[in-house]
Amino acid sequence: MYKVLILEDEKMIRKGLRYTFDWLGSECVVVGEGADGREGLEKIDELKPDIVLVDIVMPVMDGITMLEKCNENENHTFSAIIISGYNEFDYAKQAIKLGVSEYLLKPVDQDELYQALERSKEQVRLRRQYNEIKKNYSTIDDIKVLDIDFYEHDFKTSNLVVEMLKYIQKTYHEKISIQDLIKPLDRSSTHLNQKFKEETNYTFNEFLNRYRIQKSIDLIKSGEEKICHIATAVGFSSYRYFIRVFKKYVNCLPSDFQEYFQDYGSGPNSAGMG
């Protein structure tokens, strides 16, 4: 069930929304209501709603100001539906900037509200999916430390390992292995692996795979390539193996990750609403 908070200063409208609409039929439950923006902020903190229906013109604090304040708090991740008696473009523009999912005019039509809730629920679903990715995605920060410059300039790394890192950086998109470095570096594969592990905490192959996954994440964010093409572009000859490695390090499927960035761009905090 999706938790709904109703913020409307006119009591009859507020009660009408709460008691005349089939919330259960929309897989929703009204968990609270408020009559102004300041009360709304308190209710949002207290009740953690998934969807907030909010009037624009309210006493003490208007709906736009309230949403702007929510935008400053990354813990506010609800989907907002604005209800207003004002059919003015300036309000709509502000609402769009704040990331609201819908803008409904009073009196609220039941069918329009139902459709608005469906779209908000989809926004909430994607946000939940993103939050799950983010929760399990602490390894993204680990992957990001695979910055070659970090090892080359900011860390005490031997010239031998720096050469190995540069090789990965230059040829990660090709079919490579540590065996390729035996001759040019004049060392055994065992010695190379030992030194690499000692100085980076990764085996050569693990670092290579993580570096490839980081590059694939960059391509997924750009939204310019299909996942099967991305797999090949970063050096995976097997699409299935790419999926397996991606899930191992990122704890989600690349398709899930792609879906989030197609809908939300670079982050979840637009208007504090996903």
pLDDT in tens, 165-197: 999 999 999 999 999 999 999 999 999 999 998
Residue 194 CA to residue 11 CA, distance in Å, equals 72
We report the CATH number of the domain holding residue 173 as: 1.10.10.60
Residue 135 CA to residue 117 CA, distance in Å, equals 26
Residue 160 CA to residue 184 CA, distance in Å, equals 11
pLDDT in tens, 110-122: 999 999 999 898 8
Question: Residue 183: what are its φ and ψ, rounded to 5°?
Answer: -70, -55
Higher pLDDT, 71 or 231: 231
Sorting pLDDT into bands at 50, 70 and 90, what band is 270?
very low
Q: What is the mean pLDDT of the chain?
A: 82
Say if residue 129 is in the same domain as residue 72: yes
pTM: 0.54
Q: What is the number of structural domains in the chain?
A: 2
Sorting pLDDT into bands at 50, 70 and 90, what band is 251?
confident
Q: What is the pLDDT of residue 52?
A: 94
- Residue 78 falls in which region: left (phi positive, over 0), alpha (psi -120 to 50) or beta: beta
β-pair type (28-34, 2-7): parallel
Residue 259 lies in a domain: no
Say if residue 151 is in the same domain as residue 116: no
